[in-house]
Structure formats: C-alpha cells, structure tokens
C-alpha cells in the first residue's frame, strides 16, 4: 500500500472526512482515512478526538513543518515568549516568521511582550547591544557638536540666519536618524507584529531624513548666490525624500528580501546631488565642481560602502553565528553611518567657507 503523505493531510475535516490538526498539534485523521495509514507507523497512533464521536488517529507532526506552515502566528509568538522568559534569549530558529530578518545572526535574540520589557533589555548584552548603543553615543556626540562646538566656529560667526537654519536641519536630522535607529533596534523584539513593522518603518524614515538633509545642505552651498536654482534642487530633493517617508510603510518595501531595493532607493536619494554636479560642470567647469564637491567624497563613500555591506550580510554570511554580538554587517553599517555623519559636518564647514568666499568675491558663477 502506498504510504500516506503529509500533503494528504492539509485540509480541514469535512464531509469527505479528510483531515485536520487538533489544538495539541497532532494530525487527526477520520475513520475513512485510517485505512490509508501504513501499519509501520502504528506505534505512534493514538485515538483521541474530543470534538467528534468518530474514532480518530493522531500523528505527531515534525517540529520544522509545524513552525513554518501549521502553527498559527500567535502560538509561535507565545512559544518564543516562553523560551525568552526561561532562557533570557532565543535563537533565530525560535523566532516567529515575521521577526526572522538575518538568518546568519544565529543567537542572542530578545523577545518581549511589552514596551517596558524592551526598554529594560537595552542594558543587557544581546545581538542588538552594539546597534543600540553605537547610535545612542553617536546621537549624544552630534548633539554636543550642534550645541557646543559649531557655535564657536568661524563659519557660524559669518553665517546668516538661513545658513544657521540649514546647518541646524542637517545636525538635527543626523540626531533624528540615530534616534529612529535606536527605537528600531530597541523595539524590534516586541512580540506584536504590527508594532514591530511600525518601528522598522521609523528606522527607514530616519535614513531618509538624514540623506535628504545632507543633499539639501550641499545644494544650498553649491548655489549659494543663485537662489532660483538653489530652491529648484532643494525642492526636487524634498520631493524625493517625501517618497522615502511614504515607502517604508509599504510592506513589500520593508520586507527582509527587499534589502537591495532599499539600498538602491536610498543610494538614489543620496545621489540626487548628481544633477547639481552636472549643472556646475556645465556652468563653471570641472575645477569648480571638484573644488566644491571634493569634501563630499569622504561622506558618500562610507555610506555607500556600508550599505553594500549591509545588503550583502558580510561577514556573517560566510561565518554564521560568529558575529552575533559584534562585527556583523549591521554593526559595520552603523559605524559607516557615524563616520558619514561626522565627515558630513566637516564637509558642511568646508562648503560654507567656500560659499562665503565666493559670495564675498562675487564669483558665484
């Protein structure tokens, strides 16, 4: 007799008496199906069906199959919460499907039922500790630059009100980006799918805000004496940035498999300054363009490099589990963002100084 296959037991029991899974996670076959069950599995057969007067047979279902396609999400969440409470942390395979983002980070996962529990877990060493605290410390550092260091510079003393506003927008955007990142990495362990997706969207919005502000700051300085073109490019960048605020709420865009899609989009957002570059080459020549944009090379290169590392999941893709707590692709991405922000501040200082000199000498064009 042909052995019974698991695919034969996927429908709810009905008049045809096919099959179903009961609340205990065992397969329940009706009497009509028992004749198809091979005798070789008889030691594991049990008669137990409290919901029907018809005798039934139960077959244990492989745990791997149960976790992926049979157990309801709320059951998987409850199981993960129980393991997290018992052990402190859980492994990647213990996570419910929506929380499985990087299979090469194997251990050290937090999983909590409430927001306060997520907050308390910040002080415990986990695979998110570096991601959380690198941007907390980075945000404090950038805030110190904004409030204590920048006001002491020569560029600040020469700045108009609009100059200071643009600089403030960049520095505040950098702090917001890191705050959004901290929120995501702190609360991604919340055991509520919609809340987790909300914090993922908040993180991507933070990246959008920073890239938009960086491009605006560059365009503001590049067309310092040409307000119509300045406003045109800033408006174009803002429109692109608005899409970056909307797209994170689209489920397909924030899906783990769409990492390269996000990298391409955010790279395009960061490169909205390409049109101003072409504009300056055509109107002022290559030397002026190189002099103006040279400082931005040190800003763009770590961001793009970090984004490629993030999307490729290097190095953990080659050594799963070895970089769970330190050195993973997301850790390296956070370092790249911090380097880009700090270099962005010094690039802003150079751009402002160049713009002030051109305005003073009346050589804007």
Report the CATH number of the 130-361 domain.
1.20.1070
Query: How much of the chain exceeds pLDDT 90, in percent?
Result: 57
* CA angle, residues 84, 87, 93, in degrees to nearest 5: 60
Burial letters 115-150, b for 16+ CB under 10 A, else e: eebbeebbeeebbbbbbbebbbebbebbeebbeeeb
Q: Parse the chain into domains and list their residue ranges.
A: 6-67, 70-118, 130-361
Count the neighbouring beta carbons within 10 Å of the beta carbon of residue 239: 11
Residue 13 has pLDDT above 90, yes or no: no
Residue 61 has pLDDT above 80, yes or no: no
Is residue 135 part of an annotated ligand binding site? no
Q: What is the Cα 132 distance to its own chain's centre?
A: 13
Is residue 330 part of an annotated ligand binding site? yes
Give the residue among 104, 98, 72, 69 at the shortest CA–CA distance from 255. Answer: 98
C-alpha span between 286 and 256 (Å, rounded): 41
Give the residue among 330, 97, 120 at the shortest CA–CA distance from 193. Answer: 97
Q: Which of these ranges, 20-29, 129-138, 201-210, 344-353, has the smallest mean pLDDT?
A: 20-29
Report residue 107 as tokens: 């251990």
pLDDT in tens, 279-336: 999 998 999 888 888 888 889 899 889 989 999 999 999 999 999 999 999 999 999 9
Is residue 255 part of an annotated ligand binding site? no
């Amino acid at each position: 007799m042909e052995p019974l296959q698991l695919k034969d037991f996927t429908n709810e029991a009905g008049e045809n008496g096919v099959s179903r899974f009961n609340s205990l996670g065992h397969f329940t076959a009706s009497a009509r199906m028992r004749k198809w069950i091979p005798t070789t599995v008889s030691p594991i057969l049990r008669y137990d069906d409290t919901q029907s007067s018809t005798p039934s047979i139960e077959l244990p279902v492989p745990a791997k199959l149960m976790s992926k396609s049979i157990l309801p999400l709320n059951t998987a969440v409850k199981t993960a919460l129980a393991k997290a409470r018992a052990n402190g942390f859980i492994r990647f395979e213990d996570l419910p499907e929506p929380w499985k983002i990087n299979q090469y980070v194997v251990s050290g996962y937090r999983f909590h039922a409430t927001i306060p529990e997520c907050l308390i877990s910040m002080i415990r060493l986990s695979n998110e500790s570096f991601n959380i605290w690198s941007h907390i410390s980075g945000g404090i550092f950038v805030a110190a630059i904004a409030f204590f260091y920048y006001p002491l510079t020569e560029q600040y003393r020469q700045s108009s009100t609009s100059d200071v506003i643009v600089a403030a927008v960049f520095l505040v955007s950098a702090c917001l980006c890191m705050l959004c990142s901290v929120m995501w990495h702190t609360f991604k362990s919340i055991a509520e799918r919609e809340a987790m997706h909300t914090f993922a969207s908040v993180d991507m919005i933070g990246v959008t805000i920073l890239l938009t502000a960086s491009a605006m700051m560059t365009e503001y300085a590049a067309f310092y004496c040409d307000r119509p073109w300045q406003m045109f490019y800033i408006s174009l960048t803002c429109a692109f940035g608005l899409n970056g605020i909307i797209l994170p709420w689209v489920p397909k865009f924030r899906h783990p498999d769409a990492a390269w899609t996000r990298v391409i989009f955010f790279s395009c957002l960061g490169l909205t300054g390409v049109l101003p570059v072409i504009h300056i080459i055509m109107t002022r020549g290559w030397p002026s363009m190189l002099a103006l944009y040279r400082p931005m090379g040190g800003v763009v290169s770590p961001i793009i490099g970090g984004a490629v590392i993030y999307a490729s999941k290097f190095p953990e893709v080659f050594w799963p589990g070895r970089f769970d707590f330190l050195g993973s692709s997301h850790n390296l991405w956070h370092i790249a963002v911090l380097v880009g922000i700090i270099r962005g501040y010094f690039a802003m200082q150079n751009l402002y100084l160049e713009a002030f000199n051109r305005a003073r000498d009346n050589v804007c064009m």
